[in-house]
Amino acid sequence: MKNLKKISFLFVLMTFVISCKTIKDNNVNTVSGKVDAIEAGKDGYTATISTAEKEVYLATISIVNLGGPEKYKQLKIGDNVSVKGEIWKTEDEKHIKVTEIVSVK
């Protein structure tokens, strides 16, 4: 009976860990478009990105969110970029917390 409880507990624990990993991965989205504006911040900046679908995203780009200074890039107005991160929306704006800068052209 004790072994059955231990096995059941391990099964539930593994199911929980796998489901949490899946949920975390599903929150990562990619946004591609042209940089229209840049506003400096404390440890990074916010870039306004316009997509081909006429959507506008405010991309928060910081050293901390990218995982260190070696992954940090300073975008310029006019750059065509592709970024990955967590998207959230306010009433009239779409935001993305950038965790990876995929490409800059």
Give the domain ranges of the chain: 28-104
Q: Find where tokens 């009239």 sit.
A: 92
C-alpha–C-alpha distance, residues 20 and 3, integer Å: 26
Q: Which CATH superfamily is domain 28-104 in?
A: Nucleic acid-binding proteins (2.40.50.140)
- Give the model's pLDDT for residue 42: 85
44 closest CA partner among 58, 54, 32: 58
Residue 68 falls in which region: left (phi positive, over 0), alpha (psi -120 to 50) or beta? left
Q: Between residues 83 and 10, which one has the greater pLDDT? A: 83
- Give the model's pLDDT for residue 9: 64
Q: Which pLDDT band, with edges at 50, 70 and 90, does 22 fall under?
A: very low
When pLDDT is averaged across residues 11-27 and rounded to a whole number, the result is: 60
The pTM assigned to this predicted structure is 0.74
- Give the model's pLDDT for residue 10: 65
CB atoms near residue 61 (< 10 Å): 25
Q: Which pLDDT band, with edges at 50, 70 and 90, does 3 fall under?
A: confident
C-alpha–C-alpha distance, residues 23 and 41, integer Å: 30
